[in-house]
């Protein structure tokens, strides 16, 4: 057992305004699937910054993309018939979204238009996309979670390379969620929510994954959700349902814990701020974005290059 790591408190950076909250309007399909209740008025995830310092987030419950200015003011960018979950901004400025219902999408921040990039693999539709990571070369890695669980080991991980080739790199994963690579982009980390664990695999010279295994076993809450990496190679994991965000060393040792100052549904994380040392956290129970100041800067996202 490791000693308890130091604890950092968070504070509220922004809150979804009342005018955008849709209490009592959740679809019958999502209610029947247990994905929320009558009090659900939003479910935010997918934080990612553009070059101007605006923070984009998704609302999977009501098919919306929001933009949060550095001041904390919230604007609605897009609203459509979908379930946007993960969001990342490409180095060329494109906004890419993994949508549980519609596949991998491109979102125009000016017009709010949503365009499919890929919706199936080898004539088979996805189970339900969750999150994504974009490499320096522009390859897009994404998780296909669907309703997979410990009783249904059918989650997958895909890579869409810059030439447009879509490959399935992992199969039989019980609920793949957040996804990130180490700074050298030689190791892949996947949050496996329903197993309450994080898996790690090495990227081979031919581009395949090998030595995939369990890296971190967590407990409590719902399980690990979104993840990020700092410049020292420490792994940041949002522990949904527990109200924590953990920071693990490259060896998997817990070195820091951030406590939510709002609800327990800490779903996703992103580094930002002038020196990239602010960690922003989507807390979906309250519809708030939290923030905390850390010593080590986050891994630079390629949209800032």
Query: What is the C-alpha separation between 15 and 230, in angstroms, rounded?
Result: 25
Q: Where along the chain do its domains lie?
A: 7-304
Separation CA 153–CA 276 (nearest Å): 37
- Is the alpha carbon torsion for 208, 157, 66, 245 positive or negative? negative
In the beta sheet, which residues pair with residue 170? 157
Residues 6+ apart with CB under 8 A from 149: 174, 175, 194
Instruction: List the structure tokens of 257.
Output: 């814990």
Is the pLDDT score of 24 beyond 50? yes
SS3 66: strand
Which whole number is the average pLDDT over 15-37?
93
**How far apart (Å, rounded) are the C-alpha atoms in residues 198 and 177?**
10
Q: What pLDDT was estimated at residue 301?
A: 62
How confident is the model over 79-107, as pLDDT tens digits?
A: 999 999 999 999 888 999 999 999 999 99
Q: What pTM value is reported for the model?
A: 0.96
Q: For 227-283, how does the pLDDT look when each residue is reduced to its tens digit (9 = 90+)?
A: 999 999 999 999 999 999 999 999 999 999 999 999 999 999 999 998 999 999 999
The neighbouring-strand residues paired with 115 are 106
Average pLDDT, stretch 115-144?
96
| Predicted pLDDT of residue 1 | 72
What's the rounded Cα separation, in Å, for the pair 94 and 263?
Answer: 31
CATH of domain 7-304: 2.120.10.30
């Amino acid at each position: 057992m490791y000693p308890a790591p130091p604890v950092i408190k968070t504070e509220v950076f922004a809150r979804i305004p009342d005018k955008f909250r849709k209490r009592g309007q959740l679809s019958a399909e999502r209610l029947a699937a247990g994905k929320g209740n009558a009090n659900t008025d939003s479910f935010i995830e997918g934080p990612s910054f553009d070059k101007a310092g605006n923070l984009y987030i998704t609302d999977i419950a009501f098919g919306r993309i929001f933009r949060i200015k550095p001041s904390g003011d919230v604007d609605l960018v897009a609203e459509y018939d979908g379930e946007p979950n993960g969001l990342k901004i490409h180095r060329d400025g494109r906004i890419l979204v993994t949508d549980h219902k519609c596949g991998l999408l491109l979102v125009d921040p000016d017009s709010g238009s949503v365009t499919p990039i890929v919706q199936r693999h080898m004539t088979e539709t996805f189970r339900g996309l969750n999150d994504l990571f974009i490499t320096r070369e522009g390859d897009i890695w994404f998780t296909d979670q669907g309703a997979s669980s410990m009783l249904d080991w059918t989650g997958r991980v895909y890579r869409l390379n810059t030439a447009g080739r879509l490959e399935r790199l992992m199969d039989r994963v019980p609920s793949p969620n957040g996804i990130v690579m180490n700074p050298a982009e030689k190791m892949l980390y996947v949050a496996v929510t329903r197993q309450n664990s994080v898996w790690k695999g090495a990227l081979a010279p031919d581009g395949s994954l090998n030595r995939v295994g369990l890296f971190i076993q967590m407990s409590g809450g719902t399980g690990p959700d979104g993840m990020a990496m700092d410049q020292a190679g420490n792994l940041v994991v949002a522990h949904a349902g527990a109200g924590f965000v953990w920071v693990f060393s490259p060896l998997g040792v817990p070195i820091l814990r951030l406590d939510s100052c709002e609800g327990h549904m800490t779903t996703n994380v992103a580094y930002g701020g002038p020196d990239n040392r602010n960690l922003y956290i989507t807390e979906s129970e309250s519809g708030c974005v939290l923030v905390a100041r850390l010593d080590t800067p986050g891994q630079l996202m390629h949209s800032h290059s």
